[in-house]
Amino acid sequence: MSGGAQERFAGHSESGLAAFAVVLAMHRIAVDPDQLRHDLGHERPVTSADLLRLAKRLDGVRARAVSTNFTKLKRLPMPVVASGPSGWFVIGRVGDDELLIQQPGHGVERLDRAALAERWSGEVVLGIVDKG
């Protein structure tokens, strides 16, 4: 994503598309957040249901939305797209008491449990990519 596109998709209403694109890129699947927005057919903030609908349209990609907590989060396959009051972000790695996240348009951050609790609703979208 270009610098201007990163700034645009860093906003709350577009952060879900950007975070979803980042997770797919980690699996070597290139998608354009602008095209994802077009495919959705609306300009409202992205929901987990929207991300699941988009995943169904991509070959080899399945997704599932789950509500979880920090302890169970450690057992999920990473990376995941997570939602919170400030928008969507990527959780890339979870340790015993801290994790690495990236909010669209920002660098990677290390958070402890308390900081995560302020940013995260408990909802994640798991992106499952078939390697076939």
Distance between CA 34 and CA 40 in Å, rounded? 10
**pTM assigned to the model:** 0.86
pLDDT at 30: 93
The domain that holds 43 is classified in CATH as 3.90.70.10
Do 121 and 48 form a contact (C-beta atoms < 8 A)?
no
- Residue 54 host element (H or E): helix 48-56
Structural domain boundaries enclosing 10:
3-129
Encoded tokens for 105: 């348009």
* Number of domains forming the structure of the chain: 1
pLDDT at 13: 61
pLDDT at 132: 55
| pLDDT per residue rounded down to tens, the chain (132 residues) | 444 444 444 444 689 999 999 999 999 999 999 999 999 999 899 999 999 999 999 999 999 999 999 999 999 999 999 999 999 999 999 999 999 999 998 999 999 999 999 999 999 999 877 765
pLDDT at 129: 78
pLDDT at 6: 43
